[in-house]
Structure 1
Amino acid sequence: MDAMGMLLLLFIASLCLVLLLALLNVWYKYWWIPHRIHFIINSQGIYGPPYEFIHGNSKKIVRMQREALSKPMGLWHDIFPRVMPHYHSWINKYGKNYLYWNGIRAQLQITEPELVKEMLRNSEKAFPKMKPTYFFYKILGNGLAATESETWTRHRKLANHAFNGETLKNVTPAVVASVETMLQKWKSEEEKEIEVFKEFKLLASEVISRTAFGSSYLEGEKIFEMLTKLTVMATRNLFSTRIPIISQLWKSTDEIEADELEKMIHETVMKIIRRREEKLLTGEADNLGNDFLGLLINSYHDSDEKNRLSIQELVGECKLSTLQG
């Protein structure tokens, strides 16, 4: 066999080895570990729907939701079986505490009040925050909702300072003006039907944007709109499963759009930050602002490294504060 043949044979052997290792990794991660977790939890007296390869119970949940929503709803207040049909069904079947699978991620559902209190107390830090999924990370970033320990404490102090009672009193005139504008609009459309949910959503967007971004509230409203789109995508893909290997080579339409929205949000926030920094440098302003964004920028420039925010944390907090509207 010549040298070229040897090289070709070596290449094919290497390729086969890589594929074999990839398949073993998929088997270990998507079959062996879930079944082992299921066995261990079952041995402790906690049961639940069986795990399905790769998808877990995600497909079943989607089917149950579609079936529940396809049926007409009677005149009663018991909406739990309609909104959360999988929870309702599995609580009745497996008990108050059960195990189910969101893809390959094991989810221990707890509804007993005493256990819920113990977990929320988390005195020994035994229950870390769940890692956000692909789409929810686009929304939360490195903000308060996704951080823990000292980082969480630092972010929490900033939020408390920006949104305490005394500080919020200063934005009361802006809130009143926004409400009056909305009411005037309603008066001019007395004979038309008004979609109140949409109107209050717009009001909340304007109010929180003024609170968080001050004079740059129009850009804040744009950020709010983009985050709303991301939230819709995250909800739509809540029970979608990322297929191993394929998901690393190919992105869905929602994933591509989510990446674009995340990039646009980052650029919008950075534009607002640069504008404030330039005004301070040119003497047009005495400070970076007394609103939440001003506090964040000051923390970003803090001389003490322990208190300094990274740019990712700053943008994450802007996302979260805007979304709270």
Structure 2
Amino acid sequence: MAVESLLFSVLLLGLITLVVKLLNWVWFRPKRLEKLLRKQGLHGNPYRFLLGDVRDMMNVTRDEQLRSIRFSDHLLPHILPFYHGVITKHGKNSFFWFGPRPRLNISDPEMLKEILAKPDVFHKTRPDPGETIAGGIAFLEDDEWAKRRKIITPAFHIEKLKNVVPVVWMSCLKMMENWEGKFSVGETNQAEIDVWPCLEELTADVISTTSFGVSSEEGRRVYALQQRQVKLVLDVLQFFFIPGWKFVPSKANTEMKSISREIGFLLRRMIEHREKAMRNGDAIDDDLLNALMESNLREIKDQGNEKRAGLSVEDVIEECKLFYFAGSETTSVLLVYTMVMLGKHQEWQARAREEVFRVLGKQQKPTTDCLSRLKIVTMILQEVLRLYPPAPVTLRTPTRSVKLGNMTVPKGVDLMLLIGEMHHDPMIWGADAGEFKPERFSEGISGAAKTRYSFIPFISGPRVCIGQNFAMITARLSLAMILQRFSVDLSPSYRHAPFPILTLQPQHGATLLLKKL
């Protein structure tokens, strides 16, 4: 009986401890954090048990997602409907509730500078649905991040990126030949084409070739699988704040895991094939995977073949997933909104084409040196990145209570970095902040923005996107080739519906009128 009594007491104590922890998570800690935030003059909705503002967020997001808008409409209420609504209601110094965790809205450049300059203090917020799709260095912290960054950086050296130019040229040529095949023979030299799936295929083709040396069916399959995962994000996001939710066998979670396994299998097979070729001394393409593996071997050698030195095969797989997703998504989003804006603003299309003809001629193959002379094209791309940043929001979490501006942010409060909100702020960009005006960037980024951190489409600070040069080379070259061969206009059937699901995608595609020059 004494043993049974002791066992009962232990179980009862364990149950009481679990209940206390649960109550602290769902009620006492949120209420304590809310009191600390309000005491500093911050505003938001009162905390609601467990769900917080998640239901409101999902309802607003789903209602707004498929709605189209006019070009003259204010963009923020559409692309950031929930966050912009919170700011409109409660002011810039506001917060909302993602489940039992408060998230503080941040769109001030000086605060963003402080946050992004201190990655050791402000970590990536986890769990993050993007980690399931992309993985890799984007979600590592501290020493692990530094180690991975050191190994990966050589793969993105500017000399290595020169190899991207012929790949983009071939892939873009293939896309434009496909467009020309859609023109009616003998009738007109104009065709109505949804360019969005074409640009997605273009960037997937480029990332497959530059990553693995060949534009393979396996590479295309990886991209298609990642796109399916993106479509599942909204289904998993609403429960992501619940610890362990990703292990619940819901339909969305089950499909996400199945896709992840298939992507892992495909990438592992390509990596193992490359390792075998390297061991056999076979000729190997000078691609991103080769650069990554060579850098990894050097790191292992420098560390004396220690057990934890370098990257494992699983690590390389995660980086390849990130190459695919970030490399293709960022560039295709940038290109599609650039084509839309040039269709809308014919005068800038004419100016860009004149520059392309002057620098490249009508058929000349571009080089990296030529691309650096495309000043107007670069101004246009930068203005598109300002208006339509591929990732208009990102999250950070303080590792401890920390001073930020004139606030003290308690541990347990997440920071929602509203890049899209800042890029459209009239206090930073002027009364015409919502208008397409590439001339803002005529003197470069420093001449356009009040501070360096007012324009951060690729983030900034130590964790600036390692692939930004890759994206800009691909975008400049692709746009130049398109302008050499086609004029672009908006189709009457085009519906403007940019909306962020991890990246800012056109929800109804991008149907444009292309005319052969």
Place the TM-score, normalised by the shorter chain, in its bin. Answer: 0.7 to 0.9
Superposed counterparts of 1:45-194, under 5 Å: 45-68=41-64, 73=69, 76-122=72-118, 125-133=120-128, 135-141=129-135, 143-191=136-184, 193-194=192-193
* 2: CA distance, partners of 1:16 / 1:117: 49
Q: Which amino acid aligns with 2:313?
A: I
- Cα 1:50–1:259, aligned 2, differ >3 Å: closer, same or farther? same
- 8 Å CA contact retained: 1:300, 1:310: no
CA separation of 1:241 and 1:146: change in aligned 2, threshold 3 A = closer
Q: How does 1:196-215 map to 2 (within 5 A)?
A: 196-215=195-214
Identity among equivalent positions (%) equals 29
- 1:42 equivalenced with 2:5 (yes/no): no
**Which residue in the other structure is 1:228 paired with?**
227
Q: How many angstroms apart in 1 are the aligned matches of 2:168 and 2:65? A: 37
* Aligned residue number for residue 318 of structure 1: 320
Separation (CA, whole Å) in 2 of partners of 1:249 and 1:204: 32
Distance in 1, matches of 2:254 and 2:211, equals 28
- Report deviation, 1:160: 3.5
Change (3 A) 1:184 1:67: closer
CA deviation map 1:251-279 (0-9, x unaligned): 21111111111111111111111112222
TM-fit CA distance, 1:108? 1.2
After superposition, give the CA deviation of every residue in 1:29-65 in whole Å (9 maximum; x if it has no partner).
1111111111111112212112222212110112233
**Residues 99 and 15 from structure 1, CA distance in 2 versus in 1: closer, same or farther, beyond 3 angstroms?**
same
The range that moved more, 10-19 or 81-90, is 10-19
Match of 1:237, SS state, is: helix
Structure 2 residue ranges without an equivalent (≥5): 185-190, 329-517
Per-residue CA deviations over 1:150-190 (Å, capped at 9, x if unaligned) read: 43334334444223332222232222111111111111111
With over 3 angstroms needed to count, the CA separation of the structure-2 counterparts of 1:110 and 1:312, relative to structure 1, is same
Asked if 1:30 corresponds to 2:26, the answer is: yes
For residues 70 and 321 of structure 1, what CA distance do their matches in structure 2 show?
A: 28
Q: 1:12 to 1:251 in 2, by over 3 A?
A: farther
C-alpha deviation, 1:78, in angstroms: 0.5
Match of 1:268 among 262, 266, 269: 266
Higher relative contact order (CA 8 A, sep 6+): 2
SS at match of 1:97: coil
Q: Distance in 2 between matches of 1:70 and 1:207?
A: 29
Q: 1:243 to 1:279 in 2, by over 3 A?
A: closer
Residues 171 and 75 from structure 1, CA distance in 2 versus in 1: closer, same or farther, beyond 3 angstroms? Answer: closer
Q: Distance in 2 between matches of 1:198 and 1:100?
A: 35
- The residue type paired with residue 313 of structure 1 is D
The answer to whether the aligner puts 1:250 opposite 2:233 as a matched pair is no
Which structure shows the bigger proportion of residues in strand conformation?
2
User: What amino acid is aligned across from residue 211 of structure 2 in structure 1?
Assistant: A
Q: Secondary structure at the match of 1:194?
A: strand
One-letter code aligned to 1:264: E
SS at match of 1:101: strand
* Aligned residues of 1:212 and 1:293 also touching (Cα < 8 A): yes
Shift in alpha-carbon separation, 1:270–1:216, aligned structure 2, 3 A: farther
* Partners of 2:160 and 2:116 in 1: CA distance: 29
Alignment correspondent of 1:238: 237
Tell me the C-alpha RMSD between the 2 structures: 3.0
The answer for unaligned runs of 5 or more in structure 1 is: none
Q: Which has the higher helix share?
A: 1
Q: How many residue pairs are counted as aligned between the two chains?
A: 314
Name the counterpart of 1:278: 276
Given that 1:300 and 1:311 are in contact with CA atoms closer than 8 Å, whether structure 2 keeps it comes out as no
**Partner-residue secondary structure (3-state), 1:23:** helix
| 8 Å CA contact 1:99, 1:109 repeated in 2 | yes
Q: Which amino acid aligns with 2:121?
A: A
Deviations 1:214-267 (Å, cap 9, x if unpaired)? 13643222212212222222244333356568x487321111111111111111
If the length of structure 2 is used for normalisation, what is the TM-score? 0.55
